[in-house]
A = this chain, B = another copy of it.
Amino acid sequence: MNSLASTTGPVLIVGTGLLGASIGLGLRSLDVPVWLQDASPTAVALARDVGAGQIRGPEHTDPALVIIAAPPDVTADLITEALREFPGAVVTDVASVKGVLLEELREVEGLDLRRYVGSHPMAGRERAGAAAATSELFAGRPWVIAAHPEVDPAAVRTVRHLAADLDASPVHLEPVEHDEAVALVSHLPQMMASLVAGRLVGAAPEALALSGQGLRDVTRIAASDARLWAAIITGNAAAVHDGLRAVRADLDEVITALERAATEGPLAEGAAGAVSALIGAGNEGAGRIPGKHGGARRHYAEVTVLVPDEPGELGRLFTEIGQIGVNIEDFAMEHSPKQKVGMAIVSVLPDAAGRLERDLGDRGWRVVAP
């Protein structure tokens, strides 16, 4: 028991990779007792060494909460084992697929699913393993709680407390809705980014020299780990498949229209209309993505400033913007090909843009886009 956390514990974490060890670190920082277990003795020792909890011993027999944080293909078996071994515990998992998993569990005879609540913290890093773990991994991130109809409400509360203790934002979704949602906002964009980047494999260096920020943005996540994503995508195959088929239908339409334009010229009947409809739908869809802090997207004015690539220059820019008294709402860097200069794109409230441009210009900065 402790006074800092809503989670009482003891908590048994099965699987001590990045997610498991990060949960352990977060709970330990709130003084919750944590036991660690992993198929790999090295992995569990590493998690202990970074401070994620103590290695589970024979005396640790009665956890209040079990968190399965193992690879997706063994998660169902580990949930089953945990529900049987610990009849007093709530059991959850952090796998990225929820509906498919629940289906698998329903097929196991005599399993008490009232104590099971699937969950999915939407957090990750480019590095894997307990060595990359951090108690702040979930701070500010959505944590999906995918309760099924027959679950005990007290079990849902337990998982909600866990998410809150780790500073995540709980989001409630049905398991199948969750799988469709992540297919749409995560798995589909990943596949499309990889498809675009894959086309660059055979490209001429001269063509690649024309790459701009648009291509860089679209393909940033194409650098993701292939083995991990093969497991994620095949684990959610049905929902991703549906999404990709819908994309192909849209793609087919525009391919047909462009075929006509390639033969008959740019003014071929229907060509401009088909492309414009595609881009227009994209405008509408992009406008629906929640903006900063989950609120409606705000419109900011962008002020672009050329910044020499020298130590301290970016810091000086920020200091001077502070002196001018304008709040920076968002910020991004863009780099010029072959020039030792970066473009700092500073988003500010539209009212403040004119003053910022003028004052930065007065101070000797090169403002690119007034």
Show the binding face of A for B, using Cβ within 8 Å: 72-73, 122, 125-126, 132, 134, 136-137, 139-142, 144, 169, 171-173, 177, 180-182, 184-186, 188-201, 203-204, 206-212, 214-227, 229-231, 233-235, 237-238, 240-241, 243-248, 250-252, 254-255, 258-259, 261-262, 266-268, 271-273, 275-276, 278-294, 302, 306, 309, 311-312, 314-319, 321-322, 327-328, 330-333, 335-343, 366-370
Residues A278 and B336 in contact, CB atoms below 8 Å apart: no
Residues A203 and B288 in contact, CB atoms below 8 Å apart: yes
A290 to B203, CA, bound (A): 12
A281 to B209, CA, bound (A): 19
Residues of B within 8 A of A251 (CB): 195, 244, 247-248, 251
**Do A279 and B184 contact each other (CB < 8 Å), given the known contacts A258-B237, A262-B238, A312-B322?**
no
A144 to B210, CA, bound (A): 8
A125 to B213, CA, bound (A): 12
Residues A207 and B279 in contact, CB atoms below 8 Å apart: no
- Minimum CB distance partner of A203 in chain B: B184
Residues B306 and A315 in contact, CB atoms below 8 Å apart: no
A188 to B330, CA, bound (A): 27
Residues A293 and B248 in contact, CB atoms below 8 Å apart: no
**Do A337 and B258 contact each other (CB < 8 Å), given the known contacts A186-B210, A251-B251?**
no
A347 to chain B, nearest CB (A): 9
Return the contact of A226 from the options B231, B250, B259, B283 (Cβ within 8 A): B283
Q: List 25 A-B contacts (CB under 8 A).
A: A125-B369, A140-B338, A141-B336, A142-B209, A189-B215, A192-B196, A197-B282, A198-B282, A200-B285, A200-B288, A201-B284, A209-B294, A220-B286, A222-B282, A227-B276, A233-B275, A237-B261, A237-B268, A244-B254, A245-B255, A294-B339, A314-B331, A315-B319, A331-B331, A332-B332
Residues B261 and A234 in contact, CB atoms below 8 Å apart: yes
Among A224, A276, A286, the most chain B Cβ lie within 10 Å of the Cβ of: A286
A307 to B310, CA, bound (A): 24
Residues of B within 8 A of A370 (CB): 134
Return the contact of A282 from the options B219, B252, B319, B335 (Cβ within 8 A): B219
Residues B189 and A288 in contact, CB atoms below 8 Å apart: no
**Do A241 and B258 contact each other (CB < 8 Å), given the known contacts A208-B290, A250-B198, A252-B248?**
yes
Residues of B within 8 A of A237 (CB): 258-259, 261-262, 266, 268, 271
Residues of B within 8 A of A216 (CB): 289
Residues B266 and A235 in contact, CB atoms below 8 Å apart: yes
Residues A185 and B208 in contact, CB atoms below 8 Å apart: yes
A333 to B291, CA, bound (A): 12
Residues A278 and B221 in contact, CB atoms below 8 Å apart: no
A320 to chain B, nearest CB (A): 9
* With A237-B258, A248-B248 already in contact, 8 other A-B pairs whose C-beta atoms are closer than 8 Å: A140-B341, A171-B210, A181-B206, A189-B196, A230-B276, A234-B268, A237-B259, A316-B322
